[in-house]
């Protein structure tokens, strides 16, 4: 039985990933922070194989406690999927440094903290680390300097870790969905409409498709250091 940690499990993409893995008999630690715990009701059909855990990934102590919980309950972990992230849009000329720090701390430093804490539980048997980045990392979006910068940095983290962890049979990849109609995406209807218009298929990206690709990657043995794009904007 494979054990997977999914951060940001209460978000649209995180929830879709959890459901996909549960449907294929994975044990899932569904991490959340600001959401109400009732989000886990989406997984009630799989209650015996899912553990919802609240933690603030900007706090080292919370991540250490999460690691201890996983070790005590499962003994090891096979896969880490980093889907936690926030956006705080605004033009740079008026952008508060406080918001910049918050976005970087969650999207980039939070990912770093989670991976570092989970590595000792993965090193013995190998596994996969998959990080949810964004097309904004390579395309850029007006008003999203902090978000785009944080997601671009995740690509560098992915490529470096793929080399660093290869001797331990830990494969590291990133997935870049385009604009999705998730709660985060729906928070900016202007950007959502622009993304749809810019799509050659006149459509948005899909959280379930992202979950399907992640499930596929988790079942590969020779794929690491890759950045997968899921979008229809050329």
Q: Which residues are catalytic?
A: 147
Residue 199 C-beta-side C-alpha neighbours within 13 Å: 20
Q: How far is CA 59 from CA 33, 103, 118, 127, in A?
A: 11, 14, 15, 25
Q: In this structure, are residues 127 and 181 in contact, taking their beta carbons and an 8 Å threshold?
A: no
Q: How far apart are CA 4 and CA 79, in angstroms?
A: 5
N-terminal to C-terminal alpha carbon distance within the chain: 39
Q: How far is CA 200 from CA 67, 203, 207, 232, in A?
A: 43, 8, 19, 6
Residues in the chain: 234
Q: In this structure, are residues 135 and 185 in contact, taking their beta carbons and an 8 Å threshold?
A: no
């Amino acid at each position: 039985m494979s054990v997977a940690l999914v951060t940001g499990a209460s978000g649209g993409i995180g929830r879709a990933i959890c459901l996909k893995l549960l449907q294929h008999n994975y044990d899932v630690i569904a991490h959340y922070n600001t959401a109400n715990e009732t989000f886990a009701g989406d997984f009630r059909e799989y209650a015996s194989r899912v553990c919802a855990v609240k933690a603030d990934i900007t706090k080292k102590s919370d991540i250490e406690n999460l690691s201890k919980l996983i070790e005590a309950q499962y003994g090891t972990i096979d896969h880490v999927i980093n889907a936690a992230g926030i956006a705080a849009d605004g033009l740079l000329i008026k952008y508060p440094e406080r918001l910049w720090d918050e976005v970087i701390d969650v999207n980039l430093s939070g990912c770093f903290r989670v991976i570092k804490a989970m590595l000792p539980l993965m090193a013995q048997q190998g596994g996969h680390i998959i990080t949810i980045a964004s097309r904004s990392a390579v395309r850029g979006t007006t008003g999203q300097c902090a978000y785009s910068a944080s997601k671009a940095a995740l690509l560098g983290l992915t490529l470096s870790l793929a080399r660093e962890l290869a001797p331990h049979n830990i494969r590291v990849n990133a997935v870049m969905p385009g604009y999705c109609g998730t709660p985060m995406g729906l928070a900016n209807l202007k950007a959502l409409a622009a993304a749809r218009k810019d799509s050659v298929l006149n459509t948005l990206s899909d959280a379930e498709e992202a979950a399907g690709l992640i499930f596929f990657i988790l079942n590969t043995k020779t794929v690491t250091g890759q950045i997968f794009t899921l979008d229809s904007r050329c």
